[in-house]
A and B are shown apart, each in its own frame.
Chain A
Amino acid sequence: EPEVTQTPSHQVTQMGQEVILRCVPISNHLYFYWYRQILGQKVEFLVSFYNNEISEKSEIFDDQFSVERPDGSNFTLKIRSTKLEDSAMYFCASSQLLGQGEKLFFGSGTQLSVL
């Protein structure tokens, strides 16, 4: 089965530094997402992306966050100035279509640790 690929699997950074989390969605998918899970808490929606622009974003996705599809294959999440509370597992996902019952394919996640 095709996979969503995320790199790196673990990222350690100092508070205030910029980080870029990378994802390669499934090639024929059109909708892309970022989710995060802080340790012990729920998986939370951050942002969705379609046709080279943000479709929806949550309250978590403030001005410190941005997403980009710099080429035909990568989908990135940038955090401009990391805070301790940004430490979490970040999941990328993609789907072919948009719909209430549509299946999302998830990557294995990037564990971000902000020190």
Chain B
Amino acid sequence: GNSVTQMEGPVTLSEEAFLTINCTYTATGYPSLFWYVQYPGEGLQLLLKATKADDKGSNKGFEATYRKETTSFHLEKGSVQVSDSAVYFCALSNSGGGADGLTFGKGTHLIIQP
């Protein structure tokens, strides 16, 4: 079945540091890959996505590249801000037209210190 594994948190960084949150997946076929973010007190929000191999999703300075050969979708940002503090979820969709939605990782809590 489908599964997503992401690095355990919390991850604590100083402002302007480089960020990488690792995500690897197991799936049949060719899934779409997502990063969702949850800010304190809010719902999960789509941060970026990639729907095929070698696609790069990007948003708000975050990037992730769909790597089929390593089954990975690592999230990166060159210079983090305090406002990036949140929980980040890697997810995949392999519904192929079905309605079973997304398979999520456990989430990684990111803490950015000023």
Let me know if B106 and A103 touch, CB within 8 A: no
How many residues of A are in contact with the other chain, CB < 8 A? 32
Contacts A40-B106, A55-B99 given; does A108 touch B42 at CB 8 Å: yes
Most buried by A among B32, B99, B105: B99
The total of chain B residues at the interface (CB under 8 A) is 29
Chain B interface: which of A68-76, A77-85, A92-100? A92-100
A101–B49 touching, CB < 8 Å: yes
Tell whether, in the assembled complex, residue B101 and residue A100 are in contact, meaning their CB atoms are under 8 Å apart: no
Q: How far is the CA of A33 from the CA of B32 in the complex (A)?
A: 18
For the complex, is B97 an interface residue (Cβ under 8 Å from A)?
A: yes
By the criterion CB–CB under 8 Å, are B93 and A101 in contact? yes
Find the A residue at minimum CB distance from B42. Answer: A108
When the two chains form their complex, are residues A106 and B43 in contact, meaning their CB atoms are under 8 A apart? yes
| A65: interface (CB < 8 Å) | no
**Measured between alpha carbons, how far is A103 from B107 in the docked complex, in Å?**
18
8 Å CB interface, B48-74 against A: 49, 51
In Å, the complex CA distance between A48 and B105 comes to 19
Most A CB contacts (10 A, CB to CB) among B31, B42, B43, B51 go to B43
- What sequence of 0s and 1s flags, for each residue 1-43 of chain B, a beta carbon within 8 Å of any chain A beta carbon? 0001000000000000000000000000001100010000111
B residues within 8 A CB of A109? Answer: 43
**B102–A45 CB distance below 8 A:** yes
Residues of B near A106 (CB, < 8 A) are: 36, 43-45
With A100-B94, A101-B32, A101-B51: A108-B41 Cβ-Cβ less than 8 Å: yes
Binding site for A on B (CB under 8 A): 4, 31-32, 36, 41-46, 49, 51, 89, 91, 93-107
